[in-house]
Structure 1
Amino acid sequence: MRVLITGVNRGIGAALDRRLSDDGHEVIGTARGHPEYLNLDVTRAEDFRALADRLDGCALDVVVCNAGVYLDKGHNLADGYPPQMWADTFAVNVAGVFQTVQTLLPNLQASAQPRVAIISSQMASSERAPGGSYIYRASKAAVLNLGRNLAVDLRPLDIAVGIYHPGWVRTDMGGSAADISDDEAAQGMAERIAALALDNTGCFETWDGRPLPF
């Protein structure tokens, strides 16, 4: 299986790279400004054009849209959440996912069993709204909606789409008090990818396979 993972240089992306590589799969990683990976800043159209040229004719069995930011962590309603932060977050967490899938669609269509795994969050759920983190929550809700709609439009092309909460993970983003290690999250995500098919396309699940409310 050949898998492309965006944002592979750290955190969940790096752990998933290790897990899938250890399982014998070929992993193509992208990152922003890291020479050991394919260069991709998911906010730059020219990077996507270069990626498309680099991967022309290369079949991809799985595309994992993992690159993301959490810029408003710790902000408060009184004076936080500046407008540019909204734009910057949505450029990465939503538009970046769409452009990744759009750019790599020909590569997915060249696979016998193509799949797209989108890393969202349980914070995307409208039924779980404890307040705070408005920008991050809104962006993850938007990418959940995006993934659900992509699942509809990609089904006729035999491409399955899954949207996942990778867990509260001990990474730079999740912090040291988080519930699980990046290796545990990666193992769970590898299992979710293996289980993803047209029968469950559009699913919104946790790293360990529990369905989440939309």
Structure 2
Amino acid sequence: MVVGRFLVTKHFLPLIKNDGTGKLIYITSKSVSISAPDHHGEVTGYGMAKAAANQQLKSLALDFQRDNVPITTLAFEPGFIKTKLTGWLGRVDIEEACTGMVDIIEKLSPDMSGLFMNWNGKTIPWSGGRQMSSDSNRRVVLESSSSTRE
């Protein structure tokens, strides 16, 4: 899961850069968030793969900003979806989650690059309650608000 996503991104980036602008979106999972109150590590391998994807997007966001590349990155957590696979125990309808994500993608701006969000636009902390942001090519650590957790 980690290598495949990396290679697809590696080979598509030149095409996106040639276009002059773009959005790089990954679907990941809240299981990467070690700061989530309900994180118990029961899906460690899955969480590690998704955390690698989030880290790749965060690193790309900082690189793009530093190099003035107009590509916006975003990691999405679609929620616990009601599907046959989840035994219909999910809390979110697939249509609701998809509509929410499409709305956010359409409104996505470069200042949102590198964020990890859920399907309804709430930022999810995933790095021990802290998030990295780039400010004029300097890395600044920002405390995440407890109100951003869902």
**Superposition TM-score tier, normalisation by shorter sequence:** 0.7 to 0.9
The answer for the alignment partner of 1:21 in structure 2 is: none
The superposition leaves residues 67-96 of structure 1 with CA deviations (integer Å, 9 ceiling, x where unpaired) of xxxxxxxxxxxxxxxxxxxxxxxxx2x222
Unmatched 5+ stretches in structure 1: 1-91
**TM-score, length-normalised on structure 1?**
0.53
Contact residue 115 and residue 197 of structure 1 kept, 8 A: no
The superposition leaves residues 87-123 of structure 1 with CA deviations (integer Å, 9 ceiling, x where unpaired) of xxxxx2x222211111111221233430001111111
Q: Which residue of 61, 69, 88 maps to 1:176?
A: 88
Give how far 1:173 is off. Answer: 4.5
Give how far 1:147 is off. Answer: 1.2
Root-mean-square deviation over aligned CA pairs: 1.6
Q: Which residue of 64, 76, 88 maps to 1:164?
A: 76
The answer for the alignment partner of 2:14 in structure 1 is: 106
Higher normalized strand content (fraction of residues):
2
- 3-state SS in 2 of match to 1:157: coil
State how 1:108-187 maps to structure 2 within 5 Å.
Answer: 108-128=16-36, 129-155=39-65, 156-187=68-99
- 3-state SS in 1 of match to 2:116: strand
- 3-state SS in 2 of match to 1:177: coil
- Give me the whole-angstrom Cα distance separating, in 2, the residues matched to 1:190 and 1:118: 13
- Give me the whole-angstrom Cα distance separating, in 1, the residues matched to 2:10 and 2:81: 28
The answer for the alignment partner of 1:192 in structure 2 is: 104
- Give me the whole-angstrom Cα distance separating, in 1, the residues matched to 2:20 and 2:79: 30
With a CA cutoff of 8 Å and minimum separation of 6, indicate the structure with the bigger relative contact order. 2
Unmatched 5+ stretches in structure 2: 127-150
Contact residue 123 and residue 137 of structure 1 kept, 8 A: yes
Give how far 1:139 is off. Answer: 1.2
Contact residue 169 and residue 175 of structure 1 kept, 8 A: no
Q: Post-superposition, which runs of at least 4 consecutive aligned residues in structure 1 deviate over 6 A?
A: none
The number of residue pairs the alignment matches comes to 122
